[in-house]
Amino acid sequence: MSRAPDPILVIDDEADLRELLDISMRRMGHDVVLAGSLAEAREKLAQGRYSLVLTDMRLGDGLGIEIVRQLSAAPERVPVAVITAYGSADNAVEALKAGAFDYIAKPVSLEQLRSLVLNALGRQQRDSADADAAAAAEQAADRAAALLPGHSAAIQEVRRSLSRLARSMAPVVISGESGSGKERAAQAIHAISGRAAHPFVAVNCGAIPENLMESEFFGHVKGAFTGADAERGGFFQAANSGTLLLDEVADLPLPMQVKLLRALQERRVRKIGASREDAVDVRVMCASHKDLAAMVAAGQFRQDLYYRLNVLALRMPTLRERGEDIPVLARAILDHLAVRYGDPRPKRLTPAALQRLVAYPFPGNVRELENLLERAYAFAESEEIELADLGPLDAGAERAGLMHAPAPAMAPVTYAPWGAAGMWAVPPAAAPAPAEPPPVATPAASAPEPEPADDPTERACRGIVFPIDLTARLEAVERELILQALAQTNFNRTAAAPLLGLNLRQLRYRIQQLGIREAMDAADRGAVEGEGTP
């Protein structure tokens, strides 16, 4: 027989508000215990167990954040939420950072109160120590592992962080390079949180035209503007009771940042053309490959919005930091592709192909691995993906020595360099085994070295004074080479790709990664490409 749920403890020094909260939560079917001061609250906490603690931030004999810190440090993990004064976003952020589950602003909205209680009690049930909750937690961990597979120390630390982040309703900023899995991390947090049964909505902030942003985020009523033929909700309404991921949040223009800040603080949005605001219950997560703190310092991102969003933080490691996960990731990706193609058995990498992937630095991280394997899966003519099926990789990154350390040995893959000086080179198709290096000629017998070719790469290396930013220098050289190839082909990407030893998809990816847009846009305005827009 299941035990009756523990009561809710309400701490507030205003008798009228205590009474309102007492009546409201009893109507929801919960037992309530009231405390009018910090000292009384501590007595009540010492006397019994509670399923939720709701405390005002300012009490007659102290601050409610002291209760937050006390309960956050306790092993029972009782969820605690705070009541803040209207517009006191700083206090709310301080409480969330101290470990509060959530907050609610005065005047208290009964709809928001109901949502807060449901979220808190749902989480408390999952965190309880009984067998059902333990099984649910294990299943949640499995879901997180399925979204973020791997055995490296870096990804295991990420998975350990997910459960802590899932227990809170506070905003999260997920940072990391492009393609490192930021959206998957957000999905994993949502999947093991109290909002898992509700929508997860991911929005690419850089892909929305500025003049449509307010409508896309908050919705509009019929007739609000030309073309508004029907009332429509926005991203906040679509994610109500769930999670909203703002991907590439750094791309939000400053006017939209102001509107977003207000929506986060008040938890209410107004559709364009509407006369009233609607309450929304949304947990917001953000992702960006840019340094938001640096953008704040440069005046490119609002400091108040950054402070409001950056309550909790998660950094996604690059694939270079978790190179030993490449075999695991590759198998998971190939399994997924087999389902998509309807193959009864997934294709597998040959040892040589897997070895090649393990050696490659993957500047595009997991996304680049996914794209590479999808192409190889389509090109492979047998159940095995051969080395040749992988196509050309980014030789420029390898020449620079930007490679992660080889993964620990896993049969049947061995980790021995094919080329000289520790470089990993693709052996010829007719000679899978490395050839013996030719004997080194003595200085007397050596032929005069030819003059170096006057190509852009060599010109870029002349007269260099160290120290330098190697990554930025390589990107500048790569950008120049791509622009020259594009200019030579009148900005036809289909024709430019083979000039660079790339396929069209790889060229498009590099154009996106290197931000080669202004020249492309200028060319697109002047002429129509043979292969269409990117």
pLDDT tens-digit profile of 113-166?
888 888 777 655 544 444 444 455 556 556 666 788 888 999 999 988 998 898
pLDDT tens for 226-245 read: 888 899 999 999 999 999 99
**Region of residue 469 (left: phi > 0; alpha: psi -120 to 50; beta: else):** beta
Instruction: Express as a percent the part of the chain with pLDDT over 70.
Output: 77
Helix axes 15-27, 110-127, angle to 10 degrees: 60
45 burial type by CB count under 10 A (0-12 exposed, 13-18 middle, 19+ buried): buried
Residue 401 banded pLDDT, cuts 50, 70, 90 = very low
Give the Å distances, CA to CA, from 488 to 421, 453, 499: 35, 19, 10
* Both structure tokens of 364: 């595009």
| pLDDT, mean of residues 27-41 | 90
What domains are defined for the chain? 8-127 (3.40.50.2300), 131-315 (3.40.50.300), 319-422 (1.10.8.60), 456-526 (1.10.10.60)
Q: pTM of the prediction?
A: 0.60
Question: Which residue blocks in 313-466 are alpha helix, DSSP H?
Answer: 326-341, 351-359, 365-379, 395-399, 456-461
Single-letter amino acid code for the residue at 52: L
Give every CB contact of residue 146 below 8 A, 6+ residues apart in sequence.
none
Query: Which one-letter amino acid corresponds to residue 24?
Result: S
Q: Where are the beta strands (DSSP E) in 235-309?
A: 243-247, 268-269, 278-279, 283-288
Task: Detail the DSSP E strand segments found in 177-235.
Answer: 200-204
> What is the separation of C-alpha 259 from the centre of its chain, rounded to a whole number of angstroms?
23
DSSP H/E element including 294: helix 292-297
- Check residue 519 and give its pLDDT: 56
* 403-443 per-position pLDDT tens digit: 443 433 333 332 222 222 222 223 333 333 444 444 444 44
Q: In which element (H, E) is residue 145 found?
A: helix 131-147
Residue 139: its pLDDT value, please? 60
Euclidean distance between the first and the last CA atom of the chain, given in angstroms as a whole number: 62
